[in-house]
Structure 1
Amino acid sequence: MERRNNTNAPDFILMGLTDSEEIQQVLFIIFLLIYLITLLGNAGMILIIQLDFQLHTPMYFFLSHLSFLDLSYSTVIKPKTLVNLLTSNKYISFRGCFTQMSFFFFLGATEFFLLSSMAYDCYVAICNPLHYPVIMSMRLSCALITVSYVIGFTESLVNLLCMNSLHFCNSNVIYHFFCDLTPILALSCTDTHNTEIIIFILASLNVIVSLTTISVSYGTILSTILKISSTSGKCKAFSTCASHLIGVTIFYGTTIFTYLKPKNSYSLGKDQVASVFYTMVIPMLNPFIYSLRNKEVKTAFIRVVEKREGSKFMK
């Protein structure tokens, strides 16, 4: 078979989720609605946090970056998926495919450590409330955000270098709706064993470090909550971090199911469903998970609307 590297590789073909035109049309409408809701929800969350001074705290600083990541994460995947569902042109260039995959890794890895930072923020807020303003200073918050982005970028760069060393044979058909790791590795006609080991180690370290931080934080939080005597106090403390815990459980659950499992247990259908969930559904749900259970966000939204209406009235 003829080998092709990154200098002479042909365009890839993204096969998508189904060959049925009727189902593709239905999926296009569903995914378009999901994407629009994702854009409005996450952009709205960022806007409210920026406009309302009372939300200029570490917790909402992290939340605004989570919305930014979800917004970017969706934009990397969904527009191309929507085009493929609507047209017969399912091609994506070699560089375009690897660019999509690189941003996918970068944003995903960054979100892992951002969720860890948010867990630590919840820990300080509940377990050390009197020292919270001192411990969670803006300097520390910015440092945690910066480290998250640096780690995400580094992991993405290493993954890209590993994948870039591979050669691809005549087959250029990707049996997925975006340029994901497993289906692209399946196209390589060179030995991918070392590449898979490096990527698996990086992903495992990512999950272990971030999940350990989250587990320790929430273990300590739970212990602190159980020591609170009043029921109302327990409910208030738990509601502070309940939204974050729900988001973490959904994100980690689907990601671990997809990537950190034996190769022989790979199932195209199941993995595509899981991929739809964490690339499309979760970024849409996060703004609602963090806002519907949060009175401060609701109150801030009302204040922003009233302020805007008031300014129009004054004019």
Structure 2
Amino acid sequence: MNVTQEELEALVAECGPYTVQGQVATYIPELAKVDGGLLGIAVCNSDGTFVSAGDAETLFTVQSVSKIITLAFVLETFGEDYVFSRVGMEPTGDAFNSIAKLEETVPTKPLNPMINAGALAVTSMLPGDGAEDKFDRLRGFIADLLDIEVEMVRFDPEVARSEYETTDLNRALLYFMRHHGVIEGDVEEIIDVYTKQCAILTNCRGLAMMGKILSQSGKTPAGRQVISRRNARIIRAIMTTCGMYDASGEFAVQVGLPGKSGVSGAIVACGRSDYDMGEIGIGVFGPALDMKGNSIAGTKMLELLVQRHP
């Protein structure tokens, strides 16, 4: 199945009015400056062709979409036994930045890699010697996934700085986990890497490419295996159960595709051959968020796109 550009243009026009119902993320000062009326979508079709509409070329920071990338990297580097000894794989009904389950769970480890505590634990596992080396290796992994030069994997230093200076809750999560032996290493080093990974720049096409790789069991559109089939399946499963935070269940019902959101308004989703959508990747950008921190118009576009390909 191939989605057409005309379909995407119609979706953007239809869902644009939903942006006024949301609000941009204000707790990160740099994100508060973004125009909430922006809306774009790109699809990498089953045959590898790209189509897009709206503000699909606009650059934005990946924010929590980076969590699936770091998870893929540590799974490929260390294996699932090591990774899931430090972070769980169960969904949570709590907000993405909640500390509650860390206090209630025995052993004290994050329930899954998509909440902030779990993502921070995953970032602490990144290979390398020091923050700069760890982030450079992550950039290299992303460059390999997208088949681009590593210099093209850039981050927004102003957004990273803004997050670094306002992320005391994440610091608290890290200190709590280090106290209980879940993570090791220097908290400020982990925060440095984490805020930079969240500030990596992409556009809807880059998200669609990531979704396409996961939908094809870890293969690029050209057929190059960049993530193992097993790890791609693990990531899709965790996206389905945990990728949209405490709205994951509703998203699974209304959209039915594995998805991962970020508070920049980014959403990556992937079809599979066992869905009528086929093996496609979808990237959405709509910075106006709902109360759960997900793009309000972007989610609606995905819902309508799936409904129109029953």
- Give the number of the structure whose alpha-carbon radius of gyration is greater: 1
TM over 0.5: no
TM-score, length-scaled by structure 1: 0.32
> More strand per residue: 1 or 2?
2
TM-score, length-scaled by structure 2: 0.33
